[in-house]
Every structure is written in structure tokens, then in C-alpha cells.
């Protein structure tokens, strides 16, 4: 196949799409566009090992970035517009010059960007963690021996950063607007367990508390430097470093007016097709899941790999006239915090029935099953990797909740 494939986003999903295209029959050009100047890298270590200075940038390169795939890799180049009729993408290069790339098939894997706290632009000591540059900047501030770190947002990224900072011996305050961390994903009971893990490691956890603003003082060059975080309960927490982990926003702004359907992501069919010759993969793809009977947009690492590969195969199927495959894997996620490994398979919600079927939440070694309408929809494990991996298959099978619980309790 000597046509030109263009991949927008040298992300985990984008690079796996490019790799699959090359290995499974695409002989033509594969152009990969990404605004990041650093070669394609893995994101999970950015809030853990990389931040703890156990890894250098070269150590987190994606395997596909080391592989000779014959890619036309254009780093430091941003996609600015898509013309579906003309099958072209407008570009802006690092030096500000404009360009255009034409495609026969297109993979959109531009992912998402970290949300910033309003009013913090230009304030020194305030960080997000999404890119290598973000993590390097935060790591430099942590190396300067700050005494007090405030992490805003107790989701998985915020929790990992808090754990990493405690591992460096820093005082950490973790601020969360919800009554418990991760309530939407894990439910109130399991969210409370996660909060207790942080407390047991010396973190000052502030729940059901918002942020009203920051206090700053001018640095030597006049730049505002953060000194405290003002909370909605009227208290103020001293801070030398602030890390904001309040979620992400999908990178779809450049697609406005393109003709693609956008709704917190790119709307795709069950095969990740967004338009003829155009697929989406990774954080940006929103597709209908038969398994969970709803629209899903999943931000997990393994899902990005599966999505990139599936998106590439969808394009190849379209070119060959083959029947496309439905994309509907079980979402799978893990997070390492302190000496705890948290693993989640499926797509539970706060309103699901949650039952601890193995171990003890008091000991932080347990398995929790989630049920909805009598069916198993999720498995959560803390320091129970073998159990979660075995029970994950029951989510794939669509097992009944009672059957799955009985099997788990017998393990």
C-alpha cells in the first residue's frame, strides 16, 4: 500500500498506530506530527520514577521510538486545522512557519492536556505533570529542597505525585474538592480507603475543600513566587511548591469546524472510525461500548496501545475492503503509590454496588467487585495483582455479579 498515512500525535496511541500500519502492510509514507520537541515517550513514569530522579528522559522512550519504522517524524510541529474534503492537515512549525500535509488515511491521537488552575499563569513554583518538560521543571523545584508541597487534586496523578514527594521526605498537603478521592471512579467507600493510605504516610489530607487562590511574593527578578494556597474553608496552607492535578481537557480545539463530531473527544463508531479514512485513538477517542452500553473515552495506558493498534487496523481494513473489527476492550489501569499497587479493571461508577470479596481494607490488601444491574462491571485490587488479573477475565466474559463474587471469595 503506497498511499500516505498521517498520524497526528506521537503519543502512545499514535506511535502504536504507526507501528501497526508499518508492520501490517502499509508500504507508503507514514508522517507523524507532534508539537513536543522530545522524542516519543512513556507518560506513567512522569509522576513516579522519573519525578523521583530514578529515570532520565532517554530511559522512558517508547520502544517504537527506538525502532526503525521508516517514519517521517516531525517533532515541534503543531496541527492547526483539518480539511476533510481536501484530505489535508494545516501545520505550524516550531519557527512559526506554516505548512500543509496531505493524507490518504489519517490517525488522530492528539490526546489531552493538563488543566491549569485559573490565575496561576506565570507564577513560579506552580506545576502540572503531563509532559517531560512539566516533570523536569517540577523535579528541578523539588531538588531545591522545598519544605512544603501542596498537591491540588487527589486523583491518580495527584496521589502519585503526593506519594513521590513524601518519598523525598517533603511535607505534603493533598487538597481535594470532592468528599473523598476518586469517588466518581471507585465509589465513596474505596475512595476513603485511598485517602487513608495517604494519611498513614504522613500526608495532610484536606477533603471537600476547594481552592480560592494563591498567595505570592515577588522573586528576585519580580516574578511572582507561590508562598501559600488559600482554601475555600478559610484556611491558608503554606507552600513552596504547588502541583495541580485537576484532570485534563482533550486536544480538539484545532478540529473545530472540521466537520468531525466533537463531544469531549472525537465521536467515533464502534470501530474507531470518525470519518471516511479518518480514525481516532487514545485519550481523544470517544466510542460506543457494547460491553458497558454507553459512550466511553478512556485515558488509560493499555487502552491507548490497544486503541492505536485497532485504529490502524481499521484503516487497513477500509483500504483492503475487509470487514472492520469492533473495538470494545475492558479498560485496565494501575497506580503505584508508596508500597501500594492499585489496579482497576472495568468501568465502575460511584453508584455501583461495591463488595469487598478478598482481603481487608484495614490492611490495604483487598479485592473489591463492582456490580451493576446484576452484572460484574469492575474489579479493584490493592496489593492483589494475581487476583485482579484472574478476575479481569470475568469482566470480559460479562459474568454475573454474584457468580464473580463467589469465585473471588473462593480464591
Neighbours of 219 (CB within 10 A): 12
Neighbours of 83 (CB within 10 A): 14
pLDDT band at 223 (very low <50, low <70, confident <90, very high): very high
pLDDT, tens only, 163-202: 999 999 999 999 999 999 999 999 999 999 999 999 999 9
Residue that has been written with the C-alpha cell 501545520 in this structure: 91
Are residues 346 and 330 in contact, defined by beta-carbon separation less than 8 angstroms?
Answer: yes
pLDDT band at 87 (very low <50, low <70, confident <90, very high): very high
Q: Domains in the chain, ordered, with CATH? A: 5-113+248-320 (3.50.50.60), 116-244 (3.50.50.60), 339-409 (3.30.390.30)
Whether 1 has a pLDDT exceeding 80, the answer reads no
Q: Which of 51-65, 144-158, 217-231, 248-262 has the weakest average pLDDT?
A: 51-65
Whether 268 has a pLDDT exceeding 70, the answer reads yes
pLDDT of residue 2: 66
pLDDT, tens only, 366-398: 999 999 999 999 999 999 999 999 999 999 999
Round to whole Å and give the CA distance between 254 and 275: 16
pLDDT of residue 231: 97
pLDDT of residue 88: 97
pLDDT, tens only, 288-307: 999 999 999 999 999 999 99
Alpha carbon distances (Å) from 76 to 39, 40, 93, 101, 138: 10, 12, 6, 15, 22
Whether 342 has a pLDDT exceeding 90, the answer reads yes
Mean pLDDT over the full length of the chain: 94
Q: When comparing pLDDT for 50 and 274, which is higher?
A: 274
Share of the chain above pLDDT 90, in %: 87
Q: Which helix (H) or strand (E) holds 69?
A: none
Mean local confidence (pLDDT), 20-28: 94
In 42-55, which positions are buried (b, 16+ CB within 10 angstroms) versus exposed (e)? bbbbbbbebbbeeb
Q: When comparing pLDDT for 49 and 287, which is higher?
A: 287
Round to whole Å and give the CA distance between 296 and 274: 14
Whether 210 has a pLDDT exceeding 60, the answer reads yes
Round to whole Å and give the CA distance between 142 and 50: 12
Closest CA to 28 of 86, 69, 65: 69
Amino acid at each position: 500500500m503506497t498511499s500516505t498515512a498521517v498520524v497526528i500525535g506521537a503519543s502512545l496511541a499514535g506511535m502504536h498506530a504507526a507501528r501497526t500500519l508499518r508492520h501490517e502492510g502499509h508500504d507508503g509514507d507514514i508522517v507523524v506530527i507532534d508539537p513536543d520537541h522530545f522524542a516519543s515517550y512513556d507518560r506513567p513514569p512522569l509522576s513516579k520514577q522519573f519525578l523521583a530522579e530514578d529515570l532520565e528522559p532517554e530511559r522512558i522512550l517508547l520502544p517504537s521510538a527506538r525502532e526503525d519504522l521508516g517514519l517521517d517524524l516531525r517533532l515541534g510541529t503543531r496541527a492547526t486545522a483539518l480539511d476533510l474534503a481536501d484530505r489535508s492537515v494545516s501545520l505550524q512549525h516550531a519557527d512559526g512557519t506554516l505548512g500543509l500535509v496531505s493524507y490518504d488515511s489519517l490517525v488522530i491521537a492528539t490526546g489531552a492536556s493538563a488543566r491549569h488552575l485559573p490565575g496561576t499563569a506565570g507564577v513560579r513554583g506552580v506545576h502540572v505533570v503531563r509532559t517531560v518538560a512539566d516533570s523536569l521543571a517540577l523535579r528541578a523545584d523539588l531538588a531545591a529542597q522545598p519544605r512544603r508541597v501542596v498537591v491540588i487534586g487527589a486523583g491518580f496523578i495527584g496521589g502519585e505525585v503526593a506519594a513521590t514527594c513524601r518519598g523525598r521526605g517533603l511535607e505534603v498537603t493533598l487538597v481535594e474538592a470532592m468528599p473523598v478521592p476518586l469517588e466518581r471512579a471507585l465509589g465513596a467507600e474505596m475512595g476513603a480507603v485511598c485517602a487513608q493510605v495517604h494519611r498513614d504516610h504522613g500526608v495532610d489530607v484536606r477533603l471537600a475543600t476547594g481552592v480560592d487562590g494563591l498567595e505570592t511574593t515577588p522573586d528576585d527578578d519580580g516574578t511572582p513566587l507561590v508562598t501559600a494556597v488559600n482554601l475555600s474553608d478559610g484556611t491558608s496552607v503554606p507552600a513552596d511548591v504547588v502541583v495541580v492535578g485537576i484532570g485534563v481537557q482533550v486536544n480538539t480545539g484545532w478540529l473545530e469546524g472540521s466537520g468531525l463530531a466533537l463531544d469531549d473527544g472525537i465521536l467515533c463508531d464502534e470501530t474507531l472510525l470518525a470519518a471516511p479514512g479518518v480514525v481516532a485513538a487514545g485519550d481523544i477517542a470517544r466510542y460506543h461500548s457494547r460491553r458497558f452500553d454507553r459512550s466511553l473515552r478512556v485515558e488509560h495506558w493499555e487502552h491507548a496501545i490497544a486503541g492505536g493498534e485497532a485504529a490502524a487496523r481499521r484503516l487497513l481494513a477500509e483500504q483492503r475492503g475487509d470487514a472492520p473489527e469492533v473495538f470494545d476492550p475492558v479498560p485496565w489501569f494501575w497506580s503505584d503509590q508508596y508500597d501500594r499497587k492499585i489496579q482497576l479493571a472495568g468501568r465502575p461508577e460511584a453508584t455501583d454496588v461495591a463488595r469487598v470479596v478478598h482481603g481487608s481494607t484495614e490492611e490495604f490488601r483487598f479485592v473489591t467487585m463492582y456490580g451493576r444491574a446484576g452484572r460484574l462491571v469492575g474489579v479493584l485490587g490493592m496489593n492483589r495483582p494475581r487476583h485482579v488479573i484472574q478476575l479481569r477475565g470475568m469482566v470480559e466474559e460479562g459474568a454475573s455479579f454474584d457468580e464473580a463474587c463467589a469465585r473471588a471469595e473462593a480464591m
